[in-house]
Amino acid sequence: MRIKDKYHLTYCTNIHAGGDWEETFTSLKQHLPKIKKSVSPNKAFGLGLRLGNTASLELDDGQLQGFKDWLSENDCYVFTMNGFPYGNFHGEPVKDQVHVPDWTTNERLEYTLRLFKQLDFLAPEGMECGISTSPVSYKHWFDSESKKRQAFAKGAENMVKVALELYKIEKASGRYMHLDVEPEPDGFLENTQEVIDYYQDYLVPEAIKAFEPFQFSAEKTEELLKRYITVCYDVCHFALAYEAPNLTFEKFKAANIYVGKIQVSAALKIMYDNDKEEELWNTLAQFNESVYLHQVTEIVDGKVKTYNDLPIVLEKKAPFKELRSHFHVPIFLKDYGLLQSTQDQIVKVLDYLENNFVSNHIEVETYTWDVLPNELKVPITESIARELDWMKSRLK
């Protein structure tokens, strides 16, 4: 939905089941009309669509026009997509497989290019569009720096192929679309400086080679690269990096790196209390589930230390001052009993947006409804509407 004629605000449909197109469309028909009626009854409602590879292939097989007609009939449209999870995202262990296939593969490239063609078809004419994607690959799959550098280089090569295609699309039709790379804990890109380094060391040099036939200057090529390859700023992920939003946004601005999409999400925050230590651990254990990776971070000697999943921390029960866990919790709650959320990080982002433009795509992304502790499970349609209403009230 449009907010202040400036922002497109939506939620990401990765909260719904969607292994194939039938399941995806069934979920949308069940939930989307109710959500729109609640949060945007008199205005068109924009959607953050998640399509896995199977659903995308099946949608491409003659069903795309029918889906576009259904969206129109329900006064909805698509302007952003989540192209991070390639396979199934619910009901079975996902963990590090959310990065499979990574950006070193043709499968990831072909999937992403197909999504862009589908998004171009579905979105209203002339509207800016974007697709968020994985931060190249997963750090723990590589046992040497040389292998990691090779993966970075191949990932950049494939991402630049996307940038080249997006340049051609815009030249032909005027449609501007961007690939929004999403840093997250234990991804190849986790924080602000790693993003800046990736552009400087890999993306820009690769773009200069790939765009050579157009005979652009190096400066023009870098400008185009940064137009089409942008950042998906997930608030939860940068909270886990303990990075203040204003500093990240200012560093990106100084490097001429654009934020294509802001994903609004909150992580769990655990503050140590000596009198309630055992109760704290027991409460945190309620969030230990087998589907998603829930990395945990803390500041040790001035640096961020990352544990690659929650069970590691629960087993050690080591002393701490503050822990943050990669578990997307509903953004409208600040406290979860003895635990808190990083909702304050969302508020800081919104405060920054009061006087600074960062991105006009804002997407709430709380995908963990199925695995939340039962006492936190507000009915899913009501929960999504409540999150969007919370965001609307603060953006205004």
18-38 pLDDT per residue, tens:
889 999 999 999 999 999 999
| pLDDT tier for residue 118 given thresholds of 50, 70 and 90 | very high
Q: Three-state DSSP class for 342?
A: coil
Rounded CA-CA distance 232/365 in Å is: 12
pLDDT at 5 exceeding the cut of 80: no
pLDDT at 1 exceeding the cut of 80: no
Residue 330, preceding peptide bond in cis (omega within 30° of 0) = no
Please give the pLDDT value at position 378.
83
CB 136 within 8 A of CB 100: no
CB 1 within 8 A of CB 8: yes
Q: Which two tokens stand for residue 231?
A: 């950042």
259: nearest Cα among 396, 358, 375: 358
Please give the pLDDT value at position 337.
84
Q: In the Cβ-directed half-sphere of 326, how many Cα atoms lie within 13 Å?
A: 27
Q: Which residues, in sequence order, are bridge partners of residue 329?
A: 266
94: Cβ contacts below 8 Å, ≥ 6 apart: 85, 87, 88, 291, 292, 293
DSSP string for residues in 97-148: GGG-S-TTSHHHHHHHHHHHHHHHHHSPTT--EEEEE--SSBGGG-SSHHHH
Please give the pLDDT value at position 371.
83
Please give the pLDDT value at position 27.
94
Q: Three-state DSSP class for 343?
A: helix
CB atoms within 10 A of CB 367: 21
CB 343 within 8 A of CB 351: no
CB 48 within 8 A of CB 42: no
Please give the pLDDT value at position 6.
81
Rounded CA-CA distance 391/386 in Å is: 9
Please give the pLDDT value at position 396.
66
> What are the pLDDT digits (tens) for 126-137?
999 999 999 999
Q: Which two tokens stand for residue 257?
A: 């790196």
Please give the pLDDT value at position 300.
96
Burial 95-114 (b: 16+ CB within 10 A, else e): ebbbbbbbbbbeebbebbbb
**Over pLDDT 70: what percentage of the chain?**
99
Q: Rg (Cα) of the chain, in Å, rounded? A: 20
Please give the pLDDT value at position 123.
97
DSSP string for residues in 206-235: HHHHHTGGGT--HHHHHHHHHHHEEEEEEH
Q: Which two tokens stand for residue 164?
A: 């080249």
Mean pLDDT of 78-101: 92
∠ CA(227), CA(395), CA(326), 5° rounding? 70
The label of the residue with tokens 């969302």 reads: 346
Containing 351, the helix (H) or strand (E) segment is helix 343-353
| pLDDT tier for residue 322 given thresholds of 50, 70 and 90 | very high
DSSP strands (E only) in the chain: 2-3, 7-11, 45-50, 76-82, 129-133, 177-181, 229-234, 259-264, 266-271, 296-300, 303-307, 322-329, 335-336, 339-341, 361-364
pLDDT at 4 exceeding the cut of 70: no
> What are the pLDDT digits (tens) for 221-278?
999 999 999 999 999 999 999 999 999 999 999 999 999 999 999 999 999 998 999 9
365: nearest Cα among 263, 268, 294: 263
| pLDDT tier for residue 17 given thresholds of 50, 70 and 90 | confident
